[in-house]
């Protein structure tokens, strides 16, 4: 299958949900407030969907806010919406939890394999410090890292993709036809990628493409829902599967 990927020279990655298991990280980081308030009735699915909506709203309202501050604000709002007692210290601890979010077991090896053939670039909705902590878990030196902190907006804003393409051209000489965007999130990545006419790979870790008759009943986890599933050029269910196909 490697022949289908031979025309691409650079792989651009979303990080959280694709390479880093942010849903596990977020859910673990919510445990202190749930335990403190004896609210074990709040399920993981419900909590993550609330997080997704709150995060998306906050990023849209405050596009220049650093991601650590977004997380702090979201935790406080999550507490308010669910009538949970919280403190500034608990809100701040949740914001700092990004450093503890684990990588998916297949991410590091897959990236090492892909790096033998492609340039690897990150386009992420975090700040530099947050990604640096995650990068240590991935164990790969990326050729370029573009964060929301650098750009001043959050995906799915097309500004983020325009910034990435502009810098890939200026810094490496890559054109749009050289780029293959790899991501899990339909909302943050694939919808805007298609608007930008970028080739894309869906790492469908939640098996949405294999899901229920009504795809909107699928598990979207910590990602905001989309009105319709955007077109994707390739679908894989793990990074390991993608790396094997892309390197051939």
pLDDT tens by residue, 98-117: 999 999 999 999 999 999 99
Task: State yes or no: pLDDT of 215 exceeds 50.
Answer: no
The answer to whether 186 and 230 are in contact (CB under 8 A) is yes
pLDDT tens by residue, 39-75: 989 999 999 999 999 999 999 999 999 999 999 999 9
Where do the domains of the chain lie? 2-21+102-247, 22-100
Rounded to the nearest 5 degrees, what angle is found at the Cα of 178, between the Cα atoms of 130 and 160? 35
Q: Is the domain covering 22-100 a CATH 3.40.50.720 domain?
A: no
pLDDT tens by residue, 178-189: 999 999 999 999
Which CATH superfamily hosts domain 2-21+102-247? Answer: HAD superfamily/HAD-like (3.40.50.1000)
Q: State both tokens at 114.
A: 């892909």
The catalytic residues are 14
DSSP character string of the chain: -GGGGTT--EEEE--BTTTB-HHHHHHHHHHHHHHHTT-TTS-HHHHHHHHHHHHHHHHHH-TTS-HHHHHHHHHHHHHHHTT----HHHHHHHHHGGGGPPBPTTHHHHHHHHTTTSEEEEEESS-HHHHHHHHHHHT---SEEEEHHHHTS-TTSHHHHHHHHHHHHHHH---GGGEEEEES-IIIIIHHHHHTT-EEEEE-TT-GGG--SSGGGS--TTS---SSPPP-SEEESSHHHHHHHHH-
The answer to whether 178 and 8 are in contact (CB under 8 A) is yes
Task: State yes or no: pLDDT of 200 exceeds 60.
Answer: yes
Nearest C-alpha neighbor of 20 from the set 146, 174, 131, 170: 131
pLDDT tens by residue, 129-187: 999 999 999 999 999 999 999 999 999 999 999 999 999 999 999 999 999 999 999 99
The fraction of the chain above a pLDDT of 70, given in percent, is 95
* 156 cis-preceded (ω within 30 degrees of 0): yes
Region 237-247: mean pLDDT is 97
Region 224-236: mean pLDDT is 89
Rg of the chain's alpha carbons, rounded to an integer?
18
């Amino acid at each position: 299958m490697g022949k289908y990927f031979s025309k691409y020279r650079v792989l651009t990655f979303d990080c959280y949900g694709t390479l880093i298991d942010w849903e596990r990280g977020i859910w673990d980081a919510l445990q202190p407030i749930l335990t403190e308030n004896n609210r074990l009735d709040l399920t993981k699915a419900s909590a993550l969907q609330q997080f997704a909506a709150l995060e998306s709203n906050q990023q849209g309202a405050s596009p220049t806010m650093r991601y650590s501050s977004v997380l702090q604000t979201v935790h406080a709002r999550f507490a308010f919406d669910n009538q949970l007692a919280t403190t500034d210290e608990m809100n701040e601890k949740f914001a700092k939890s990004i450093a503890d979010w684990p990588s998916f077991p297949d991410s590091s090896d897959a990236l090492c394999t892909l790096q033998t053939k492609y340039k690897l670039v990150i386009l992420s909705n975090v700040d530099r410090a947050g990604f640096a902590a995650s990068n240590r878990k991935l164990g790969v030196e990326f050729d370029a890292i573009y964060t929301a902190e650098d750009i001043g907006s959050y995906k799915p804003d097309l500004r983020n993709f325009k910034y990435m393409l502009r810098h890939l051209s200026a810094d490496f000489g890559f054109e749009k036809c050289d780029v293959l965007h790899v991501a899990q999130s339909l909302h943050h990545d694939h919808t805007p990628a298609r608007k930008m006419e970028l080739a894309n790979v869906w790492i469908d870790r939640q098996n949405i493409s294999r899901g229920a008759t009504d795809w909107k009943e699928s598990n979207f986890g910590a990602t905001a829902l989309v009105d319709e599933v955007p077109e994707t050029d390739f679908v894989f269910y793990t990074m390991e599967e993608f790396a094997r196909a892309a390197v051939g």
